[in-house]
Structure 1
Amino acid sequence: MSPIEQPSTPQTEAELLDRAQALAGLTLGELAQQAGIVPPPDLRRDKGWVGQLLEWHLGATAGSKPVPDFIELGIELKTIPIGYHGKPLETTFVCVAPLIGLHGLDWQHSHIKHKLAKVLWIPVEGERDIPLADRHVGSPLLWQPSEEEEQQLRQDWEELMDMIVLGQVEQITAKHGEVLQLRPKAANNKALTEAYGANGQPIKTLPRGFYLKTHFTAAILAKHFII
């Protein structure tokens, strides 16, 4: 298929929401056809494909830059694979975690706080027995963390960052954090980055990413969609 010109960037929150609402009920195959692209057979090698397809339809331009997907609106787009019972099937990647140069970094100025300031959640059918092209897109939800949600995120972030600063990055597991977890984020085991060791010495380790735990995103969806 020949590439089709991407829709323009939405100028207002309302315009973005209208566009997202217009995608609800359509399949990924239908959306791929409209964009002039062929869906992959599955997501094993194309993990970000669904997000990229929806970004294209909604006119997002940030790409992989460390800014919200809709820069002018300050809104981050997050697709979330949903099971038959309306619950998220996996954790949600937010951003890469800084492992060095952490002096003076606080929650208010952190990358993750800016990323989660306002999120457009788009649920998508994610059960593996549904062929990728046949999976439906759900109704969008524009979310801002409540005071309580932000407090939970901040507390986890501060605890995880303290461990990184103290040279304990290798001891952090997915069990740390109530709503936020830190996990290796790399295509392969050769993609190492710098971090601090227990004695403050530089070490090489896998890059880490912040992920929202499924019970946290499930609660967001349940609150708004009354699942």
Structure 2
Amino acid sequence: MQPPATPPATTDELLDRCQAIAGLSLGELAKLAEVQIPADLSRHKGWPGMLIELWLGASAGSKPQQDFPALGVELKTLPIDASAKVLETTYVCYAPLIAQPGLTWESSNVRNKLQQVLWLPLEGDRQIPLAQRRIASGFLWSPSEQEDALLRQDWEELSERILLGEVASITARQGNALHLRPKAANGSVLTDALNEEGERIKTRPRGFYLRKTFTQALLNRAFV
């Protein structure tokens, strides 16, 4: 078995590829693909996702579009424990900290990324060596009207605070489904933003994240 050479042509083919790797460990997939396994994830946090992208044929890389642009599908791994409890918040995309004229929820990168998501749960318990962590069955999800409204409300409230120059006072506690957190390799990475007086300042980049309570509900519903 080898990683596919081309992206999937349909969502059915994408799900077939998911099924083909379900139950296998990250170590087994890395060995088959001749990819080196890092000792841990302290400096390679995105490694499991990159390995899975390779096996599913994702083509977007770090571009601001879905991982499978021809299908309009974004891939998100979901680390879980032995009880299928979600262990981490889910990164969606960077948050623009300088106002973008005309930007709405409908045209936002958050909504673009979350229009259709392939969720792929995998073992994330730190007691399990990285190479032994297994992949579960993936499932496709698109927001219901209620979920879209919830995400929209959080996005609009957070975006308004950024627009008003209040980015420094936004905490991870704000937002019911979607929240804002620093997103950078370390504290020395800075980007431009505006303060409440409209003056340009330097601050840590921020990212939009989905709360564990939100993704847990999706996981529970998918496997009821």
Measured against the shorter chain, the TM-score band is over 0.9
- C-alpha separation in 1, matches of 2:18 and 2:143: 20
Residue of 51, 54, 58 corresponding to 2:52: 54
1:148 counterpart (146, 149, 152): 146
Tell whether the 8 Å contact from 1:102 to 1:165 is kept in structure 2 after alignment: no
The reply to whether residue 189 of structure 1 matches residue 187 of structure 2 is yes
C-alpha separation in 1, matches of 2:5 and 2:119: 19
* Residue from 86, 89, 95 that aligns with 2:87: 89
**Equivalent residue number for residue 125 of structure 2:** 127
Question: Contact conserved, 1:30 with 1:133, CA < 8 A, in 2?
Answer: yes
2:209 to 204, 208, 211: 211
Rounded Cα–Cα distance in structure 2 between residues aligned with 1:84 and 1:17: 23
Residue 61 of structure 1 contacts residue 69 of structure 1 at CA under 8 Å; is this kept in 2?
A: yes
Is the partner of 1:42 in helix, strand or coil? coil
Residues 5 and 135 (structure 1), Cα distance of their counterparts in 2 relative to 1, 3 Å cut: closer
Q: In structure 1, the residue corresponding to 2:154 is in which secondary structure?
A: helix
2:165 paired residue number: 167
**Structure 1 stretches of 5 or more lacking a match?**
none
Q: Distance in 2 between matches of 1:198 and 1:6?
A: 50
Structure 2 CA distance for aligned equivalents of residues 207 and 178 of structure 1? 21
Q: CA 1:141 to 1:180, structure 2 compared with 1: closer, same or farther past 3 Å?
A: same
Q: Distance in 2 between matches of 1:101 and 1:215?
A: 29
Whether contact under 8 Å (1:175, 1:181) holds in the other structure is: yes
Which of the numbers 38, 41, 44 marks the counterpart of 1:40?
38
Say which SS state the counterpart of residue 70 (structure 2) adopts: helix
2:74, 2:114 within 8 Å by CA — same for their partners in 1?
yes
Partner of 1:31: 29
Q: Which moved more, 1:185-194 or 1:90-99?
A: 185-194
1:122 CA displacement: 0.3
- Measured in 1, the distance between the counterparts of 2:162 and 2:3 equals 43
**Structure 1 counterpart of 2:135:** 137
Distance of 1:101 and 1:212 partners within structure 2: 22
Q: Secondary structure at the match of 1:219?
A: helix
**Residue 79 of structure 1: how far off its partner (Å):** 0.5
Question: What's the counterpart of residue 67 of structure 2?
Answer: 69
Q: Distance in 2 between matches of 1:15 and 1:5?
A: 14
Q: Is the 8 A contact 1:7 1:57 kept in 2?
A: no
- Percent identity over the alignment is 56
Please identify runs of 4+ aligned residues in structure 1 that moved more than 2 A: 4-7
1:9 is matched with 7
| 1:116 equivalenced with 2:114 (yes/no) | yes
One-letter amino acid of the structure 2 residue matched with residue 61 of structure 1 = S
